[in-house]
A and B are shown apart, each in its own frame.
Chain A
Amino acid sequence: MHWSQFTDAWFGFFHAPESCAPQVLFRLMFGSLMLLNAVLLFPLVTDMFGSHAMWNIAAWQRQQGRTRMSLLHLLPPTTGGFRILLVIHVLACVGFLIGWQFRVSAVVVFVTLVSVHHRNTFILSSGDTVLRLMSFLAMFSSAGEAFSADAAVAGTTEFPAVDPWPLRLMQILISIIYVRTVWWKLRGKMWWNGTAAWYPVWVDTYLRHRPPRWMLRPFFIRMATWGTLLAELSLGTLIWIHELRPYIVLSGIVMHLVFEVVMNLQLFGWIMIAGLLLFLPPESTSRSLEWLAAWV
């Protein structure tokens, strides 16, 4: 392969202008989840983030110092200080969702989210990690170019073609998550011998609804274990084949919805579904959004 072929392929993939519709759809779903996530933090302020919380501010400052970014270093080290941070975060999430001053909103969302996460890392899960990384990439995206308050002010009704490199990085991140989780799973013998799916349904921390006993027979457990590996591997790899993409995205959505029924993974499944929407074709995504706009 010549260098020029490589650079052409690189620019074609990362920079060939493409409709911003998938990014806009992602903004709507991801923004809603960010807002829900923020609202769910309010009842936890006193116990988890306050000055006299279970993980109190003094202990946090001793452990972390200023090695991690946090706006809390600029606010009073009190429960009130954290509430101020959370209110700013919620307002930024609203700005992100409706696409008002999108770039500024996205930056504030990321900085405030990281500040919240760094305050108490012991309550975080994989869904939070995806939120953090995606909100980082969203700062560079064109998700506010259409179907937004900014677009309404500018009088734009189309989905303009934009440089899609942030979208590509988001897609690659989603792909890496699935590939890497399979890679880690294959280092464990329970995933090889087909028993891994048995254990989570007996662990209280994650369990939502235990499947009926007939579904817990070895045959079904093996199918669930190896089926999960196969589905996740497909989501990380086959999703890049355009002809297969709709089926792979659909299988991913179904897989996450099944996990939602059985397990309490907080917002992880919904966040990953939002990530899978980034793979939808721009044309059909813009048609769906136009239909939604007409319906609203």
Chain B
Amino acid sequence: MSDIAIVVILVWFWCFDLPADAPQRRLIAYLQKPFLYLGLWHGWAMFAPEPLHVNRRLKAIIQYADGSIDEWRPIEPLQTNWFIDLLWFRHFKFQFSILTGSHKVLWSPLCQWLVRQAKLDGLQVVSIQLIREYQTVNAPTAAQPLKEWQSSVMHEEKFV
């Protein structure tokens, strides 16, 4: 019995991380429901195929009913305190997920969270803009390691 389990687990470990169009990956597609249910999904494309080469930051522009405008930023790495950066690592990861663009499902709940935070301070939000700021890292041969920061609006939500 344990040998069958060994073979099934080995096949899963070896095949699941392959690209979606690989034959071995298509083969295990029939098996994947229980494995995904159990949380045995995985991917080892760490800093691959290319390492991340863009700095990304999130900013929210919040407009209140009284006409005032506020700016909110999530917790960002300090790079001066090992423990604090370890503690808030998941905040950085969450910000990263919001900014990649492939998780648009996060944008509206984040706006709702900002509205709630404002409400706790007795403020009524009229609109929120989520802004992506980004800065490309130049190739090692360039005169400067980093390009200028740029920004773009990625989501806007109104609350009437």
What chain B residues lie within 8 Å of A200 (beta carbons)? 47, 51-52
Docked pose: A109 CA to B103 CA in angstroms:
28
Q: Are B40 and A133 in contact (CB under 8 A)?
A: yes
**A203 to chain B: which residues have CB within 8 Å?**
51-55, 137
Nearest chain-B residue to A41 (Cβ)?
Answer: B90
Whether, in the assembled complex, A56 has its beta carbon less than 8 Å from a beta carbon of chain B, the answer is: yes
Quick check: is B64 within 8 A (CB to CB) of the other chain? Answer: no
The reply to whether B42 and A188 contact each other, CB–CB distance below 8 Å, is no
Question: Which of B23-31, B108-116, B152-160 is the interface stretch?
Answer: B108-116
Alpha-carbon separation in the docked complex, A185 to B17 (Å)? 13
Neighbour of A123 across the interface among B87, B94, B110, CB < 8 A: B94
B52–A207 touching, CB < 8 Å? no
Q: How far is the CA of A177 from the CA of B44 in the complex (A)?
A: 6
Residue A280 interfacial (CB < 8 Å): no
Given contacts A54-B113, A165-B6, contact A68 B39 (CB under 8 A): yes
Docked-complex contact B39 and A69, CB < 8 angstroms: yes
Query: Do B85 and A199 touch (CB < 8 A)?
Result: no
Q: Provide the B92-111 mask, 1 if CB < 8 A to any CB of A, else 0.
A: 11101110000101101110
Task: Mark contacts of B1-15 with chain A using CB atoms, 8 A cut-off: 1 yes-contact digit, 0 otherwise.
Answer: 011001001100110
A interface secondary structure, majority: helix
Q: A181 at the A/B interface (Cβ < 8 Å)? A: yes
Which residue of chain A lies nearest to B39 when distances are taken between CB atoms in the complex? A114
List the A side residues contacting B91 at CB < 8 Å. 44, 47-48, 123
* Interchain CB contact under 8 A, B86 and A136: no
Assembled-state Cα–Cα distance A218/B92 (Å): 29
Residues on B with C-beta less than 8 A from A40 are 86-87
Q: Is the CB of B40 within 8 A of A191?
A: no
With A129-B43, A208-B85 as contacts: A202 and B79 at CB distance below 8 Å: no
> Nearest CB to that of A169 among chain B residues?
B9
A221 proximal to B (CB < 8 A): yes
> Are B48 and A124 in touch, CB under 8 angstroms?
no
Q: Does A266 make an interface contact (CB < 8 A)?
A: yes
**CB under 8 Å from chain B, chain A span 145-163:** 163
What residues of A have a CB within 8 angstroms of the CB of B14 in the complex?
176
Q: Is B46 an interface residue when CB atoms closer than 8 A count as contact?
A: yes
Q: A205-B77, A264-B77 given as contacts; is B48 within 8 A of A59 (CB)?
A: no
Residue of A nearest to B108 (CB): A59
Residues of B within 8 A of A (CB): 2-3, 6, 9-10, 13-14, 17, 36-57, 76-77, 79, 82, 85-87, 89-94, 96-98, 103, 105-106, 108-110, 112-113, 116, 137, 139-141, 145-146
The 4 tightest CB contacts between A and B, nearest first, are: A188-B49, A114-B39, A184-B48, A122-B97
Which A residues contact B (CB, under 8 angstroms)? 10, 14, 40-41, 43-44, 47-48, 52-56, 59, 63, 67-69, 113-114, 117-118, 120, 122-126, 129, 132-133, 136-137, 163, 165, 168-169, 172-173, 176-177, 180-181, 184-185, 187-191, 195-200, 202-209, 216, 218, 221, 264, 266
